[in-house]
């Protein structure tokens, strides 16, 4: 099945969709950011493919496993009435932890690997696409991927998205 290309809204997870409580991995610990669910709905309504890109070095550090991350993401999507199209996470860390996850990779932000993969796998065009993140590394990853990076510094996510889309 081929889909017509569409612009993408890439969203950092911790600090954008949910409060960044540090190595979040249990559904009972999720606190949604104000306006997060409405923002996803708004983006979907406006025709964006919505892709989460999140560094999860807690996997490399042995705090939780990849299955925990996937379970959390499935739960998050079930809480939304407009589904996120894809979740990508980087389980690596260049110097912390051990085993297969301790390595330099091309997916840990500020590397653009997760964004590039999302674009390739979900027919997302660079034009009109953007990433919303709460850290410099998010904005840098967006820059390297050739899309706009938008800083979210807290508050209501839907207000930011409404401003962003209204300006287009």
Mind telling me the catalytic residues?
A: 12, 14
CA distances from 68 to 23, 71, 75, 103 (A): 11, 5, 11, 21
* Interaction of residue 14 with Mg ion, rule CB under 5 A: yes
> Could you tell me which stretch among 38-46, 58-66, 130-138, 143-151 binds Mg ion (CB under 5 A)?
130-138
Give 20 or 68: the residue with its C-beta nearer to Mg ion.
20
Token code pair at residue 165: 């889309």
> Could you tell me which stretch among 15-23, 64-72, 78-86, 148-156 binds Mg ion (CB under 5 A)?
15-23
Length of the chain: 168
**Residue 14 CB, nearest approach to Mg ion (Å):** 4
* Interaction of residue 134 with Mg ion, rule CB under 5 A: yes
Give 85 or 134: the residue with its C-beta nearer to Mg ion.
134
Give 14 or 85: the residue with its C-beta nearer to Mg ion.
14
- In whole angstroms, give the CA distance from residue 81 to residue 37: 8
Buried/exposed code over 121-145 (b: 16+ C-beta within 10 A; e: otherwise): ebebebebbbbbbbbeebbbbbebb
Residues 136-165 binding Mg ion (CB under 5 A) are none
Buried/exposed code over 7-25 (b: 16+ C-beta within 10 A; e: otherwise): bbbbbbbbbbbbbbeeebb
**Residue 138 CB, nearest approach to Mg ion (Å):** 6
Q: Could you list the residues that contact Mg ion (CB under 5 A)?
A: 12, 14-15, 134
């Amino acid at each position: 099945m081929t889909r017509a290309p569409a612009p993408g809204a890439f969203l950092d997870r911790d600090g954008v969709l949910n409060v960044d409580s540090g190595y979040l991995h249990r559904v009972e610990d999720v606190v949604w950011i104000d306006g997060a669910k409405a923002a996803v709905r708004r983006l979907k309504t406006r025709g964006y493919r919505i892709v989460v890109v999140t560094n999860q070095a807690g996997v490399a550090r042995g705090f939780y496993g990849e299955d925990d991350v996937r379970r959390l993401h499935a739960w998050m999507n079930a809480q939304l009435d407009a589904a996120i199209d894809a979740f990508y996470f980087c389980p690596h860390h260049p110097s912390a932890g051990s085993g297969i996850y301790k390595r330099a990779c091309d997916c840990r932000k500020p590397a653009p690997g997760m964004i590039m993969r999302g674009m390739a796998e979900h027919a997302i065009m660079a034009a009109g696409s953007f990433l919303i993140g709460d850290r410099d590394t998010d904005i840098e990853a967006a820059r390297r991927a050739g899309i706009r990076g938008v800083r979210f510094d807290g508050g209501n996510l839907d207000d930011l998205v409404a401003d962003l889309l209204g300006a287009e």
